[in-house]
Amino acid sequence: MARGVHAYLIAKGHLNKDLEEKEEVKKSATNWFNWIMSDEADEKLCTIFTSNRCRITIGARNLFYNTFGALGVMPQGGGLARKVRKSGWYLKNLFYVETMVTETGYPRHLKASSLLMYRVLNMQDGKIKDKKIERKMKKVAKFLHKKDTENALMNFFNNGVSEKLVDQVLTQCPANLPNSEQINRDFQWQRTTSQGIIDITDGHDCVYLMNLMIAKLNGNLHW
128 and 38, same domain (yes or no): no
83 burial via Cβ count (<10 Å: 0-12, 13-18, 19+): middle
pLDDT digits (tens, 9 = 90+) for 20-61: 999 999 999 999 999 999 999 999 998 876 667 788 999 999
4 and 72, same domain (yes or no): yes
Among 34, 59, 86, the domain boundary falls at 86
Among 50, 70, 86, the domain boundary falls at 86
Compute CA distances 55 → 77, 108, 147, 166, whole Å. Answer: 20, 18, 27, 37
* Main-chain phi, psi angles of 198, to 5 degrees: -80, 110
pLDDT value at 170 more than 70: yes
What is the average pLDDT across 9-17? 95
* pLDDT of res. 200: 64
73 and 100, same domain (yes or no): no
* Residue-range definition of the domain harbouring residue 21: 1-86
For the chain, what is the domain count?
2
Share the mean pLDDT of the chain.
Answer: 90
